[in-house]
Amino acid sequence: MLPLIAPSILSADFAALGDAVRRLDEAGADMIHIDVMDGHFVPNLTFGPGMVRALRPHSALPFDVHLMIEPVAPYLEAFAEAGADTIHVHAEAGPHLHSSLQKIKALGKKAGVAINPATSPDVVGEVRELCDVVLVMSVNPGFGGQVFLDSQLRKIERLRAIVDEAGTGALIEIDGGVTPDNADRIVAAGATALVAGSAVFAGGPSAYAANIQALRAHASRALA
Ligand SMILES: O=C(CO)[C@@H](O)[C@H](O)COP(=O)(O)O
Ligand SMILES: [Fe+2]
């Protein structure tokens, strides 16, 4: 399977998000990554379920909603109803990861476990039967445009082993500092999906298709 490319609209012009989502769809994105931040779990503020609902008519691509909020459980239903397809919750956002994942599955959505750079991959093993996607943060969450942390490559390898052993086929998705220059190493380590903000939005709308293609081409090299 080709690695999936998920542009993060955190790097878009916030005054024209509907337009950005439409253009990313036309440019060949596989899904749309939406970073939800609460100014508490992370030191930045972005979107709520109202934004997900407003963007929904602009593309039929899966919406990959990354919740960087604490508490998270009270908001899962609202994001599901707004049109999220995958909902990622952080393992660090409270003591009830298992129950949040159960809730996401009960809402009929794909469940993602996001883990910060300092978090052990072993937490994923504890919830493996509920986990459709593992979202590995390769920067500290909160902002786009940061540098990829090479230390996370070893974690991806470990997660590849955990997911293969579980036999669930869960995606391993990498988020933060992904560029064409490191995409092949990330996929070689075991990733199957790449989130990219800065690398997709660089050069403006006319460059989206080429940027997505460059990521896909470099990522696919690891599989050749
Ligand atoms: O979740 C986050 C940041 O917290 C990411 O999704 C970023 O938006 C990725 O942006 P780049 O590092 O690719 O610029
Ligand atoms: Fe993200």
Query: For the segment 116-146, what is each residue's pLDDT rounded down to a tens digit?
Result: 999 999 999 999 999 999 999 999 999 999 9
- Give Cβ neighbours of residue 117 (< 8 Å, ≥ 6 apart): 137, 138, 139, 140, 149, 151, 152
Give backbone dihedrals phi and psi of 206, rounded to 5 degrees, phi first.
-70, -15
Query: Which sequence positions are flagged as catalytic?
Result: 35, 175
Expressed in angstroms and rounded, the spacing between residue 133 Cα and the centre of ligand 2 is 13
> Which domains, and CATH codes, for the chain?
4-221 (3.20.20.70)
Task: Give the model's pLDDT for residue 114.
Answer: 99
Please check the confidence at residue 224 and state whether its pLDDT lies above 90.
Answer: no
Task: Report how far residue 98's alpha carbon sits from residue 91's, in angstroms, rounded to the nearest whole number.
Answer: 9
Task: Report how far residue 216's alpha carbon sits from residue 220's, in angstroms, rounded to the nearest whole number.
Answer: 6
Point out the ligand 1 atom lying closest to the alpha carbon of residue 176: 12
Task: Check if 10 has its Cβ closer than 6 Å to any atom of ligand 1.
Answer: yes
Q: Which residue out of 5, 35, 37, 63 has the highest number of ligand 1 atoms within 8 Å of its CB and is therefore the one to mutate?
A: 35
The string over 29-48, giving b where at least 16 C-beta atoms fall within 10 Å of a residue's C-beta and e elsewhere, is: bbbbbbbbbbeebbeeebbe
Expressed in angstroms and rounded, the spacing between residue 161 Cα and the centre of ligand 1 is 25
Q: Which residue out of 42, 138, 175, 208 has the highest number of ligand 1 atoms within 8 Å of its CB and is therefore the one to mutate?
A: 175
Query: For the segment 60-109, what is each residue's pLDDT rounded down to a tens digit?
Result: 999 999 999 999 999 999 999 999 999 999 999 999 999 999 999 999 99
CA distances 79 to 83, 92, 137, 146, Å, are 7, 19, 21, 27
Task: Report how far residue 71's alpha carbon sits from residue 20's, in angstroms, rounded to the nearest whole number.
Answer: 29
Task: Give the model's pLDDT for residue 127.
Answer: 98
